[in-house]
Amino acid sequence: MSTVSTVSDDLLLLDSLEDFQKYAAMLSANARRHLDILSHTLDPLVYECPETVDALSALARRHKLARVRILVQDTLPLIERGHALVRLAQRLPSKIELRKQHGELENTDMAFVLADSEQVLYKHDDRLYRGFVNFKAPAELRSLREAFVRAWEYAQPDPQLQQLHL
């Protein structure tokens, strides 16, 4: 159950799967133009919720400059079992791009969602449902986005996730 931090009313401490499902969907729905996701395996329990998939689809279609970037460390689970966001990226490749990370980030355990210029959903360890959501965190977002962009520049699309058009 999420709890409001004593530091700020915009900062909620999260400690359950339900918290991460709720706020991943909320940030996806709140985003106006840009959403970046960093995850080890794009946890299907969080990112395959219909609310999140629908919100990302709506974001991608809402504005001509909309952009969703998904950076994953391990694409094998996505290839083996499929994933709703992979299928969405295949249908909207000019708006939603998924890449496999090459190289290491400073914190290899973290996962996050960055929405526009100030909303952050952060997991300290992508295997655990503990972290925070902050709706007004431009400084934290800027730092995380810089790390994301550095990793994105070295990342490559995984050919096994590409849709073959015949």
Tens-level pLDDT at each residue, the chain (166 residues): 667 655 667 899 999 999 999 999 999 999 999 999 999 989 999 999 999 999 999 999 988 899 999 999 888 887 788 888 888 888 888 999 999 988 666 667 899 999 999 999 999 998 999 999 999 999 999 999 999 999 999 998 887 777 544 3
- Residue 75 pLDDT: 83
Q: What is the predicted pLDDT for the residue at 164?
A: 44
- Domains of the chain, residue spans: 3-158
- Going from the C-alpha of 133 to that of each of 5, 52, 86, 107, 124, the distances in angstroms are 10, 15, 24, 18, 11
- CA angle (74 as vertex; 111, 98 as ends), nearest 5: 75
Taking the CA atoms of residue 112, residue 116, residue 117 and residue 118 in that order, the dihedral angle to the nearest 10 degrees is -60
Shortest CA distance to 108 belongs to which of 73, 134, 143, 133? 73
As a whole number of angstroms, the distance between CA 152 and CA 100 comes to 9
Q: What pLDDT shows up at residue 45?
A: 93
Place of tokens 């073959």: 164
CATH topology assigned to domain 3-158: Endonuclease; Chain A (3.30.870)
pLDDT tens digits for 71-87? 998 888 877 888 888 88
For helices 84-91 and 50-62, the axis angle rounded to 10 degrees is 20
CA distances for 122 relative to 102, 127, 130, angstroms: 21, 12, 8
pTM of the model: 0.90
Q: For residue 69, what pLDDT is reported?
A: 96
The pLDDT assigned to 166 comes to 37
